[in-house]
Structure 1
Amino acid sequence: MTEKQPASIPLGINLSFCVKRWVTPDLWAPIVREQLGLDLVQLSFDLVDPTWPEDVLADCAKDIRNAAERYGITVHSAFIGLAHYTFNQLLHPEPRLRDIAEEWMKKAYRFAADAGIYRVGGPLGAVASGIDGKELDSIPAAEYDDLIARMGRLSRTAKECGIVELYVEPTPMRREWPWTVAQAKRMAADLAGSPVPWKYCVDWGHATFEPLYGRDRAGMAEWFEALAPDIGMVHLQQTDFQYDRHWDFSESGAVDPGEAAALQRRFGLADRPAFLEVFYPFERDDLSILKALKHSISMLKPAFAQEGLRENH
């Protein structure tokens, strides 16, 4: 009897693990292809700052294209990384700094397209904290309207650059947007018809954050079910649902690879890529990181990369 196996989910890795280590394509490409056995990556702008001089950026873009071709790697997308994320970006209280963040993103689109990367995204920003320490349930209406206007302009610029898809990564913080399913649905509706579509990147450490959502409500199923048509990718990490850990799968946590892959298939998202996104202390030794990554991929591949038919007699 022939039994069809579950659909294969494209499995890749975000290059966050390379920060301050394997910082050029001739270093990260052989690790991804030859040591991890992957052919799909997501560039982190922690490795390339789109505000660098134009001649430097042109060489960086060429190096990425050449390495990707040489090692048979697809660079699916580029995400903002940790460095730029530390700023308040498009929701900074000072409008001039929002303008700078908007220009930063436009430069990121231009660089990505030059490097042969046609999808860009990440978290959008954060409003400032109040001096009383109290966090509201949503950002102010004026801030939201300004954000949507900026995203509209960014979509038009992305279209001019040749970008085909933009991503918002929801984060589990009240000062960022969106952090609930309802907010994400509203944003998707308000951005419908953008020249370049805005999609969501949902993260296993974000949607499951129990201190914010509560133990009964935290989980990926709600996000998958409500936002499936607007989800463009998934970020994988090991976590304990108590913080956004970004551990690899050599750590003990609450995310089971088989269950994670099954949930993605259950909601019709098997065609959306899943990227392992892990961060390491800068002082940790390189060899232990490579070993941990290999172990993690060996756990994820059987769950996500199933394909073909199995013969049962």
Structure 2
Amino acid sequence: MTDTQPVSIPLGINLSFCVKRWVTPELWAPIVREELGLDLVQLSFDLVDPTWPEDILADCARDIRSAADRYGITVHSAFIGLAHYTFNQLLHPDPRVRDVAEAWMKKAYRFAASAGIYRVGGPLGAIASRIDGKEPDSIPPADYDDLIARMGRLAQAAGESGIVELYVEPTPMRREWPWTVAQAKRMAADLAGSPVRWKYCVDWGHATFEPLYGRDRAGMAEWFEALAPDIGMVHLQQTDFQYDRHWDFSESGAVVPGEAADLQQRAGLADRPVFLEVFYPFERDDLSILQALKHSISVLKPAFAQQISRGMP
């Protein structure tokens, strides 16, 4: 005989929508809590560069802690954002640039921990394109081995800073890593035993990218089923499966919130948080963005807060 208890999926928002707009905690915290009715966020390093002078970073960390406490917000994690992502990071062809990217991440860990944020992640990097434009199905073995070695050192540094979890966000690009389930499984095995565990953040606009995976293979189900023990969170966006759109849910697309929540529930991932991650043109007016976000959350909340019965021993 079993008892039951209600289960809902934690819903939050990545602060990507704040870039060049609501750039301080005093601005984004009341929007998250009072306008959107959320209490879970993911910081974007587009709002704070961990290479800024130490006195500025100390004030930023203090302000994040203060605003989170004042508004009852949990800052679950910090992700690298678009600015740092535009560089090739840990897979740049020049090893000196890889060294800089590795040092950048270590600084990101230190800042996050000082702000009371103990999980950090994002995409890892990209090898350079070939002159002939052809994209192989895997990065060179030497680049992969170097990447794993750097991730090992980063895990060590993260632990020393107080970080408890690290995340890799797979992207639908042959020049980045990993972009297939098989690659992700291999990477997880090669990183087993890291001082801080590496987990995955899977994204609804990445796993569903039909031009790369094909119409029959694109989808979240395979990622959820194959990588469930290694998945730590999910990024949600509205998209058409043709590009990584990062639309909000005021746009028409192929992602149905209720179906997305059901799939995550069935995969046994109801305890993993989901973060709406949306980007807007810088020239778009602020009010229309707030209205679109409110609509999106009003659509997503009922879907991800749905209650199901899970058998308990």
1:285 counterpart letter in structure 2 = D
Question: Is this contact kept in 2: 1:129–1:175, CA < 8 A?
Answer: yes
Distance in 2, Cα, partners of 1:67 & 1:192: 36
1:51 counterpart letter in structure 2 = T
Distance in 2, Cα, partners of 1:147 & 1:4: 44
Distance in 2, Cα, partners of 1:264 & 1:118: 24
Could you say which residue in structure 1 is the equivalent of 2:172? 172
Cα shift at 1:306? 2.6
| Count of matched residue pairs | 307
Q: Do structure 1's residue 54 and structure 2's residue 58 form an aligned pair?
A: no
Could you say which residue in structure 1 is the equivalent of 2:127? 127
Could you say which residue in structure 1 is the equivalent of 2:86? 86
Distance 1:200 1:221, change over 3 A: same
Could you say which residue in structure 1 is the equivalent of 2:148? 148
Could you say which residue in structure 1 is the equivalent of 2:27? 27
Deviation string 1:32-91 (CA, Å, 9 cap, x unpaired) is: 000000000000000000000000000000000000000000000000000000000000
1:214 counterpart letter in structure 2 = G
What secondary structure, in the 3-state scheme, does the structure 2 residue paired with 1:201 have?
strand
Q: Do structure 1's residue 199 and structure 2's residue 210 form an aligned pair?
A: no
1:223 counterpart letter in structure 2 = W
Question: Is this contact kept in 2: 1:168–1:198, CA < 8 A?
Answer: yes
Could you say which residue in structure 1 is the equivalent of 2:236? 236
When normalised by structure 2's length, the TM-score is: 0.97
Deviation string 1:264-285 (CA, Å, 9 cap, x unpaired) is: 0000000000000000000000
Q: Do structure 1's residue 162 and structure 2's residue 162 form an aligned pair?
A: yes
Deviation string 1:233-283 (CA, Å, 9 cap, x unpaired) is: 000000000000000000000000000000000000000000000000000
Cα shift at 1:6? 6.0
The within-5 A match list for 1:92-107 is 92-107=92-107
Cα shift at 1:17? 0.1
Cα shift at 1:116? 0.0
Deviation string 1:134-189 (CA, Å, 9 cap, x unpaired) is: 00000000000000000000000000001000000000000000000000000000
**Structure 1: tracts of 5 or more residues without a match:** none
Distance in 2, Cα, partners of 1:267 & 1:7: 13
1:135 counterpart letter in structure 2 = E
Distance in 2, Cα, partners of 1:196 & 1:303: 33
After superposition, the CA RMSD in angstroms is 1.2
Distance in 2, Cα, partners of 1:288 & 1:6: 35
What secondary structure, in the 3-state scheme, does the structure 2 residue paired with 1:90 have?
coil
Distance in 1, Cα, partners of 2:108 & 2:306: 34
Distance in 1, Cα, partners of 2:89 & 2:7: 38
Identity %: 89
1:265 counterpart letter in structure 2 = Q
Distance in 2, Cα, partners of 1:100 & 1:56: 21
The within-5 A match list for 1:281-296 is 281-296=281-296
Distance in 2, Cα, partners of 1:126 & 1:20: 26
Could you say which residue in structure 1 is the equivalent of 2:209? 209
What secondary structure, in the 3-state scheme, does the structure 1 residue paired with 2:238 have?
coil
Could you say which residue in structure 1 is the equivalent of 2:10? 10
Distance in 1, Cα, partners of 2:258 & 2:133: 40
Question: Is this contact kept in 2: 1:92–1:125, CA < 8 A?
Answer: yes
Could you say which residue in structure 2 is the equivalent of 1:70? 70
Deviation string 1:3-44 (CA, Å, 9 cap, x unpaired) is: 978620000000000000000000000000000000000000
Distance in 2, Cα, partners of 1:245 & 1:306: 26
What secondary structure, in the 3-state scheme, does the structure 2 residue paired with 1:70 have?
helix
Distance 1:5 1:285, change over 3 A: farther
Question: Is this contact kept in 2: 1:5–1:306, CA < 8 A?
Answer: no
2:210 counterpart letter in structure 1 = E
What secondary structure, in the 3-state scheme, does the structure 2 residue paired with 1:89 have?
coil
Distance 1:5 1:252, change over 3 A: farther
2:196 counterpart letter in structure 1 = V
When normalised by structure 1's length, the TM-score is: 0.97
Cα shift at 1:130? 0.3
Cα shift at 1:305? 1.5
Distance in 2, Cα, partners of 1:193 & 1:116: 25
Deviation string 1:113-133 (CA, Å, 9 cap, x unpaired) is: 000000000000000000000
Could you say which residue in structure 2 is the equivalent of 1:278? 278
2:291 counterpart letter in structure 1 = K
Q: Do structure 1's residue 268 and structure 2's residue 268 form an aligned pair?
A: yes
